[in-house]
Amino acid sequence: MTRYVMVIDQRRCIGCHSCTVACRVWNKLPLDIIYNPVVSEGVQGTWPNVHRNWTPLLCMHCENPECVPCCPSGASQQDDDGTVWVDPKKCLSCKVCVNACPYGMRDASHMENRMHRFVRKCTFCRDKRQLDPDAQPYCVETCHQKARIFGDLDDPNSEVSKLIGSVKTDRIFTEFGTEPQIYYIPCLGGQA
């Protein structure tokens, strides 16, 4: 079996937003849709003891997603490899899934034709991987700091398995029982 996950090394991320731009360009997103924002709480601490953390986000491709069982049309679905995606042809844009996601990772664009809207979300670049099974998502390919690492958790030799097995990783909002599959290597401060 294959289980795609992403490890995000926050120690490496410099907040350049290249991954966000790459995703928007390659996935041809409307302007009000951002799949993978890189957020920060700003500079923390008092000079000269200051630091700043960046948190690159994307759909958590949850093991137990909130957004799939609630979908009445069957548009929101999960592949065997864990990828959660929406079939635009089936989606009604009822926005139940948008409200169900605890991470706010889905939305329908308000800039599209009013009678032809559907919900969009990060697909782990599913279409790209269908053409080439070894392909990496665009944000991962673009990250010059190698802060985003994509791979198969079920393969013990993959970089993600080794990292998750050896370094302490965090996940966001585990209290909802969604089993998010984006693993963060926290930055413990110290960088300006």
Partner 1 sequence: MKHHYWEPPIALYLFLGGLAGGILFLSAIFNSFVIPGYGEIFAMPVLISLVCVAIGCVFLIIDLGQPGVFWRVWTTATSIIKWGATFLVIAAVFALLYLLAYLDQAWPIFAPLSQLLLPAADFFLIVAGFFGLCIMMYTGIMLSTLKAHAFWATPALPVLFTISAISTGCAAVVLSIGGWPAQITLESLLAAALVLEILHIVDIVLVIAELIVLLTMVLSFAGAGNVTAKKAAMRWVKGSYALLFWVGMVFIGLLVPLMMYIGGGHSAASTVVAPILVLCGGCLLRFMVVNTDDRADIPGEIRYYNRVLSSNGQEFTTKWEYGKNLF
Interacting residues with ligand SF4 (CB under 6 A): 13-19, 38, 54, 56, 59-62, 65-67, 70-71, 73, 75-76, 84, 86, 91-97, 101, 103, 105-106, 119, 121, 142-143, 145, 147-148, 178
CB of 46 to ligand SF4, least distance (A): 25
Q: How many residues bind partner 1 (CB under 8 A)?
A: 50
Cα 4 to Cα 155: distance, rounded to the nearest angstrom:
10
For partner 1, the binding residues in 43-72 under the rule CB under 8 A are: 55, 57, 66, 69-72
CB of 130 to partner 1, least distance (A): 21
Q: What are phi and psi of 144, to 5 degrees?
A: -70, -20
Q: Is 99 helix (H, G, I), strand (E, B) or coil?
A: helix
Is 96 a binding residue for partner 1 by CB under 8 A? The answer is yes
Task: Give the tokens for residue 2.
Answer: 């294959």
User: Do 163 and 151 form a contact (C-beta atoms < 8 A)?
Assistant: no
Terminal-residue alpha carbon distance, the chain: 41
Cα 167 to Cα 57: distance, rounded to the nearest angstrom:
20
Residues forming contacts to partner 1 in the complex (CB under 8 A) are: 28-32, 34, 37-42, 55, 57, 66, 69-75, 90-96, 98-104, 107-108, 111-119, 172-173, 176
